[in-house]
Amino acid sequence: MKTDVAIIGGGPAGLLLSQLLMRAGISTVVLERQTRSHVLSRIRAGVLEAGTVQLLQDAGVGERMLREGIPHDSCYLTSDDTLMKIDLMEACGKQVMVYGQTEVTRDLYEAQDAMGATILHEVSDVALHDLTGDAPFVTFRHDGADQRLDCSYIAGCDGFHGVSRPSIPASVRQEFEKVYPFGWLGVLSRTPPATPELIYANHARGFALTSMRNAMLSRYYIQVPLTDRVEDWTDDAFWAELLARLPPDVAASIVTGPSIEKSIAPLRSFVCEPMQWGRLFLCGDAAHIVPPTGAKGLNLAVSDIFYLSRALIAQYSDGNDDLLARYGQDALARVWQAMRFSWSLTKLMHRFPDQTDFDRRMQVAELAQLAASSDARRLFSQVYAGLPY
């Protein structure tokens, strides 16, 4: 097999890159370890930055998102029972869009199918070769046979546990990581959302988040110790704890119901440098992980794809490799800004096991500054709604 760009990983990052490149006449092959049904069963983030919304439209996959997605002009933060509004449109002139990652992936699959894309599922034993030469290639096993894919470039979109990042020599890689001492217990329920906007709650009992996927599908989270298991939490126990962490008027508006999905996600901040090695380019979770506070994970993957697709299209259209040479530099500049925001918001809104009275006073002071200062709300809103590419 031969293609221009081999894409390792068939999640939203890999599919979006394939979509953008194919529209520019650049051939791709996508290799995915899981089945399509498994990829589409993943429950992930649902808040899209303004730039993500625009790039999905540019890729020709925005029609259903614009029809079914929920635009948000604001969000709320709480300090115990005090509710504070952050008006994004007033502060920075941008909205965010609530539209689930599963739906983004579904739209991309349909668009790729319509274009006749080559997407191979249930691929195993993937290995990357000759990354610093002029003719890299990928070996893998599919349908019971060993295969080879020759290409000009490789995009590693295969997540934190994929093969792409370890293919960069350990002597070259520098990895930065912070592991947080708690997780998020998330519940999905077929109930109307508590409020039209997201609420990030800082409470003495721990963090909570009220979110949604659509008018009859709600997503809620609470901070839990890393030692907790999903089996430790009945639906009734979850709802009781969530309501206890929200202001009384918000809690009174919540409609409870059976969970249709329940999981615990650990929180970490992680960045790998460099994001490129020879003809290998890392994208999304293969290069960086953010805590879900602030909803930057999918959005950072999309910004990586913006920079990489732009660079590859420039290379193939006029032989200009300047953007390709600085892909990692451009992507990392935005990654670290989003990393800082996610770390800062996590630190602001959660209760840490070793938190002192001084630490709590600093949280209160920072929340008070957001409430009192339009400049502080503007800076928050600019990153929350999405920094420009």
| Catalytic (active-site) positions | 72, 200, 292, 296, 384
DSSP 2: B
3-state secondary structure of 118: strand
Q: Are 316 and 308 in contact (CB under 8 A)?
A: no
Q: Are 386 and 300 in contact (CB under 8 A)?
A: no
Dihedral (CA of 255, 261, 265, 271) sign = negative
- C-alpha 77/C-alpha 182 separation (Å) is 20
Rg of the chain on CA atoms, in Å: 21
C-alpha to C-alpha distances, 280 to 12, 32, 84, 164, 292, nearest whole angstrom: 19, 17, 44, 8, 27
- C-alpha 239/C-alpha 258 separation (Å) is 10
- C-alpha 128/C-alpha 280 separation (Å) is 9
3-state secondary structure of 75: strand
> Helices marked H in the chain — which ranges?
12-23, 36-41, 50-58, 63-68, 88-92, 101-115, 235-244, 248-253, 297-318, 322-325, 327-349, 357-372, 374-385
Closest of 221, 192, 198 to residue 211, by C-alpha: 198
